[in-house]
Amino acid sequence: MLKRRRLDTPEQEEEAAVKLIRRDEKEVRRSLEDLYNRLSAVGDLVVTVHGAQSTREFSCLRALLAAASRPLDAMLFGRLPAVTVQKDGTLQLSLRDTEPWCFDQLLRFIHGLPITLDVESAIKLHHVGDYFEVLSLRDMCCNFLLNAMREHNCCEFLRRSGEMNCEPLTKKCLDWLTLDFVTVMRSDRESSSLSPEALQTILGRNELVCASELTVFEAVCEWYRRQASAEKFDALPELLRSLRWHLVTTAQTPAVLELAASLQPPQRHASPCLQRHASAGKASACAGQSGNSADGEGTSACDEEISELVERLLREASAEGPHRLATRKNSWGRLVAREAQTGSATPPVCGEWTLACCKEYLVGRSRRTDIRVGQHAPMPYISSQHFRVFHRIAWPEPRCCDSAAASGPSAASASPPVLEPWLEDISQNGTFINGESVGRHMKRVLHDGDKIELVFPHGRLGTGHHPHFTTFTFCARPESEAADEADSLRGASDASPAASPLQQQQPDEM
């Protein structure tokens, strides 16, 4: 017997007849572009932009401007609108806080048209997007600038980020200076224009990456000498107090004192700064002799005070002993070498190298490499330069200026930039990480505990047909070893690794 089909209830039939549809985004964009091309005909508002050099009028749609910008909405439809009615009945809005070309780019962006960004235009449009609260434009300009930052423009970006009030850009500039301080100070032409406040912030960070404290002091001296000024000279005592003098070795002390003696005040400037930081007797002596220094004759008392201040800071650091909490980021890892296979499960360690910051390491059989291995092998399987290890700055995803994103829960948990270790295979016969081939001229990120093998990876060795080579293990420095890490580098001014049994072998070939 056939069953009769159950009929849908009226409610079910009504629900089945309702469907949510939405216009395609491409059609919406085309409509906005079409309106932009016809603004002279369909526009209901004339915006007059009075720039510093020129004035220009734009035909606009009030509703579209109000929908894109809250400040423009208040100007057009608020309780006290800024719109005036001309004699011919035309509505007009005058703007004096931007340039005509900036408003033109803003109008194109509102209508969905592409705009071209370079550093200068991104800085200007960031201000326009922030002022008119077109947040998507502001954030795109911010991300463009974050990605455009390099070592040679970091200080310029830091200066201009303050003018723009762009907090993410300021943070990345300070982080870059912290993680690559010496390189930025040497390569950025505007590093001498870095404000004393910004430099003070950087010098006060434990995360400051440097080969040694001497290189930090050299960078501060160069910052002052390249563009000496009264403001800089007045800031020197506080900046010098921010240095970690307990990390300066005895061998480096003469160079430090020589540099300190070269920090002379600019002509016709009797600095009051040392009177605030020196003892009362020394301060009065400096004030009593400042007249001679104003004429540029002889050696001023202030010149001597800088040297005396540095000597005193060195003595105080030495008296406090090495148990200081303030450290620096002097290394980014270690390479531990183990002997060729000896039949034991864990071959003994034959060498260990602390990888100093601001330096890369070449490994191979040439005497010109930093870590020499394989020079006594029966055949030159290991290349003269087999692989190199180095570090880069690993940046988190760029963060926009949006207030919700900057202050929300994700902001506190966002990972900071770190030094990321890398290996590049430059050999003829291969380099392996955990048994996997890297590939000639290819690069791989290193992780804590990675095993680095040369020519033949473990498990592919023949039965006595191939020589056994030294293997390496990469070790990342844990935070608990930060103090030991600083002490291990104090004995070497150039932060070079200590000699190991591998390096003590007599070289016999290039």
- pLDDT range class, residue 287, cuts 50, 70, 90: very low
From the list 308, 312, 289, the residue with the least C-alpha distance to 299 is 289
Query: Range with the lowest mean pLDDT among 103-107, 216-220, 242-246, 378-382?
Result: 378-382
Quickly count helices (H) and strands (E) in the chain. 21, 15
Q: Is the pLDDT of residue 32 over 80?
A: yes
Q: How deeply is 481 buried, as exposed, middle or buried, from its count of CB atoms within 10 A (0-12, 13-18, 19+)?
A: middle
pLDDT per residue as tens digits for the range 451-508: 999 888 865 554 455 567 888 999 986 444 544 544 444 444 444 444 443 443 433 4
pLDDT at position 239 is: 94
Q: Residue 323 in 3-state DSSP?
A: coil
pLDDT at position 410 is: 43
Our measurement of the distance from residue 277's CA atom to the centroid of its chain's CA atoms, rounded to an integer in Å, reads 33
* Residue 236 to residue 226: CA distance in whole angstroms: 14
- Take residue 76 and report the two structure tokens written for it: 């057009």
Write the CB contacts of 87 (distance below 8 Å, at least 6 apart in sequence): none
Q: Is the pLDDT of residue 510 over 60?
A: no
432 near 453, Cβ under 8 Å? yes
pLDDT at position 449 is: 92
Mean pLDDT of the chain, nearest integer? 81
Radius of gyration of the chain from Cα atoms?
33
* Residue 21 to residue 303: CA distance in whole angstroms: 78
pLDDT at position 400 is: 58
Q: Is the pLDDT of residue 70 over 90?
A: yes
The residues with which 349 forms a beta bridge, in sequence order, are 338
Q: Which fold has domain 331-400+415-489?
A: Tumour Suppressor Smad4 (2.60.200)
pLDDT at position 233 is: 93
pLDDT at position 494 is: 47
307 CB-side CA count, 13 A: 13
Q: Residue 168 in 3-state DSSP?
A: helix
From the list 256, 453, 219, the residue with the least C-alpha distance to 358 is 219
pLDDT at position 327 is: 83
Query: Range with the lowest mean pLDDT among 177-186, 309-318, 405-414, 420-429?
Result: 405-414
pLDDT at position 204 is: 92
Q: Is the pLDDT of residue 295 over 70?
A: no
* Residue 151 to residue 182: CA distance in whole angstroms: 10
Span(s) in the chain for CATH 3.30.710.10: 25-140
pLDDT at position 355 is: 92
pLDDT at position 343 is: 54
pLDDT at position 128 is: 95
What mean pLDDT do residues 288-315 have? Answer: 62
Q: What is the 3 state secondary structure string of 70-110?
A: HHHHHHHHCCCCCCEECCCCCEEEEECCCCHHHHHHHHHHH
Question: What is the 8-class DSSP label of residue 475?
Answer: E
Write the CB contacts of 361 (distance below 8 Å, at least 6 apart in sequence): 335, 353, 355, 370, 371, 388, 389, 390
Phi, psi of 492 (to 5 degrees): -125, 120
Query: Range with the lowest mean pLDDT among 130-139, 200-209, 294-303, 412-421?
Result: 294-303
Our measurement of the distance from residue 505's CA atom to the centroid of its chain's CA atoms, rounded to an integer in Å, reads 40
pLDDT at position 381 is: 82
pLDDT at position 86 is: 87
Instruction: Name which residue leads in pLDDT, 504 or 242.
Output: 242
pLDDT at position 376 is: 78
Specify whether domain 25-140 bears CATH 3.30.710.10. Answer: yes
Is residue 458 within a helix (H) or strand (E), and if so which, with residue range?
Answer: none
What mean pLDDT do residues 175-181 have? Answer: 94
pLDDT per residue as tens digits for the range 338-374: 876 655 556 677 888 999 898 999 999 899 999 998 8
314 near 254, Cβ under 8 Å? no
Q: Residue 32 in 3-state DSSP?
A: helix
* Residue 400 to residue 146: CA distance in whole angstroms: 9
Span(s) in the chain for CATH 2.60.200.20: 331-400+415-489
Instruction: Name which residue leads in pLDDT, 134 or 282.
Output: 134
pLDDT per residue as tens digits for the range 319-344: 876 555 578 888 899 999 887 665 55
pLDDT at position 398 is: 65
Residue with tokens 């002799």: 289
